[in-house]
Amino acid sequence: MFYREAGDFSTTYPQDSQTFPIRFDRYRYYAVLAVAVVIMPFVMNDYLVNAIFLPFLIYAIAAIGLNILTGYCGQVSLGTGGFMAVGAYACYKLMTAFPDINIFFHVLLAGGITAAVGTAFGLPSLRIKGFYLAVATLAAQFFLVWLFNKVAWFYNYSASGQINAPERTVFGVAVTGPNTEAWATYLFCLVFTVLLALIARNLTRGSIGREWMAIRDMDIAAEIIGVNPLRAKLTAFAVSSFFVGISGALFFAVYLGAVEVGEVFNIQKSFIVLFMIIIGGLGSIFGSFAGAAFLVVLPVVLKLVGVDLLGWPTDIVAHFNLVVVGLLIIVFLIAEPHGLAQLWRVAKEKLRLWPFPH
């Protein structure tokens, strides 16, 4: 009834090929964006921003990045944590070396540096596939964490090996450091998330995205029809790492403010981002958002209900959280391998036919 293309005519090619061809869908998207940009900054407080929105936005970028590599191009990666660390340390070195340049460019450059590192670690993907590639990226994870712990240059020779984000401003408003306002950090991350999601969406709909998907579906067939596997795989690694690097930079500079590589960017981080795209949906931008929201919000909700409402001991709730996440992953893998995104797709199909399904 609401959600259908009837009466919605495209008269030009750009209209026909837009991201949301159905009018209702398009308005819903604009509405979400308007709420996020216009209304949310006014209701933001320290708790909301630090417990929910910053991690959600930043993990969403990381999940989109991994989804490009794993969901669209079919290359399994367990090195996400390591690549996030590259982004964080690159951002830190840039922030301290060039304090006069705007933090916005530092974050972008950190993404660029991560893209270069990611491409280098993507080279083995030209020879090996599947589990073996997963092991190669796992090596990247451990190597990068070891490197940032071992070489003191990366943390400016500080005694503790920690990196701390100094205060940096955008248009005179602090976005890193201790004296930030909740709305400023939120908007700063939101800008990155929206821009990167737009880029990812359009990349995956264009020729490069089709190359990635061709490689994912059957690499030999793709090569026969003229897809260059070297180009496709390495661009997937580069774009994916760019996204992951930016998320790492934001994670360090805006969200945490102080980072210790072995604790923050360890293998757990790689897994949690992987879980996000599995639960959210492989090969879907919406799925990346859904998965990130799910895994960020779920522990907070469980804690609110378990500890604050029911008064359970904190350790029981923490263990319960692990059980629930594990259970959900199993359930999703069995019942809905395409994740939350597929549920959303099915819901939309149903809406299209409703209320006359025949």
Q: Which positions touch another protein (CB under 8 A)?
A: 46-47, 50-51, 55, 149, 159-162, 164, 166-167, 177-179, 255-260, 262-264, 266, 300-301, 303-305, 307-309, 313-315, 317-319
273, 63 Cβ separation under 8 angstroms: yes
CB of 48 to another protein, least distance (A): 9
How far does Cα 111 stand from its chain's mean position? 13
CB of 305 to another protein, least distance (A): 6
Joined tokens for residue 1: 């009834």
CB of 225 to another protein, least distance (A): 45
CB of 82 to another protein, least distance (A): 14
Cα(353)–Cα(169) distance, integer angstroms:
50
Nearer residue to another protein within complex by CB, 123 or 305: 305
> What is the residue whose two structure tokens read 């629930």?
324
Nearer residue to another protein within complex by CB, 25 or 167: 167
183, 41 Cβ separation under 8 angstroms: yes
99, 176 Cβ separation under 8 angstroms: no
Helix (H, G, I), strand (E, B) or coil at 204: helix
Q: Which of 92, 112, 67 has its CA nearest to residue 168? A: 92
CB of 169 to another protein, least distance (A): 13
Cα(325)–Cα(354) distance, integer angstroms:
33
Q: Give the H or E element holding residue 283.
A: none
**Overall residue count recorded for the chain in this entry:** 358
Nearer residue to another protein within complex by CB, 68 or 259: 259
> What is the residue whose two structure tokens read 């949906």?
281
CB of 138 to another protein, least distance (A): 15
CB of 84 to another protein, least distance (A): 13
Nearer residue to another protein within complex by CB, 51 or 199: 51
Nearer residue to another protein within complex by CB, 301 or 333: 301
Nearer residue to another protein within complex by CB, 178 or 337: 178
Nearer residue to another protein within complex by CB, 318 or 351: 318
> What is the residue whose two structure tokens read 């359009």?
202
Half-sphere exposure (Cβ direction) of 71: Cα atoms closer than 13 Å: 32
68, 216 Cβ separation under 8 angstroms: no
